[in-house]
Amino acid sequence: MLVRRRNKYSIGRAPSGRARCRRCKSCPPKGALVIVISAFVRHNRRARLYRCVECITPAFAQTVREAHGRARRVPAEPGMDQEALAEARAQLDRAMDDGDNA
C-alpha cells in the first residue's frame, strides 16, 4: 500500500550560515529563527530543509497547518527559547489568517 508521507515542520534556528532558505535561496545566518522542514526524500529518508520566518507566505502557512494545525501545535526544536518560539508562531498565525482572508 502506498502511504503518502507528509512533510513535518518545526520551529528552530539555522544550524550554519550555509543552510539555504527554500524560498529566497539566501542563507539565514547561523542562529536565525527558521522553520525547519523535515521532508521525505526517498524511502524512509528525511532531509532537513529551512525557510526563514520572513519567508512564511500564506501558501506555506497553509501546508504547515495541514500537517500540524494552528501555529501553537507546531513543535519546537530542542533548546528553543519561549520568546523566539512565540515570535515564530505569531508569524505563522498571521500568515494563516492572511490566507483565510485572501
Residues that bind Zn ion in the complex, under the rule CB under 5 A: 21, 23-24, 52, 55
Instruction: Work out how close the CB of 28 gets to Zn ion at its nearest, in angstroms, rounded to a whole number.
Output: 7
- Residue among 5 and 24 whose Cβ is closer to Zn ion: 24
How far is the CA of 61 from the CAs of 29, 37, 42, 85, 86, in angstroms?
Answer: 22, 12, 24, 15, 15
Cα-to-chain-centroid distance, residue 62: 11
- Residue among 4 and 15 whose Cβ is closer to Zn ion: 15
In the complex, residue closest to Zn ion by CB: 21
Q: Residue holding cell 508521507?
A: 5
Residues 6+ apart with CB under 8 A from 100: none
- Residue among 59 and 69 whose Cβ is closer to Zn ion: 59
- Residue among 23 and 46 whose Cβ is closer to Zn ion: 23
Instruction: Work out how close the CB of 26 gets to Zn ion at its nearest, in angstroms, rounded to a whole number.
Output: 6
Instruction: Work out how close the CB of 52 gets to Zn ion at its nearest, in angstroms, rounded to a whole number.
Output: 4
Q: Radius of gyration over alpha carbons of the chain, in Å?
A: 13
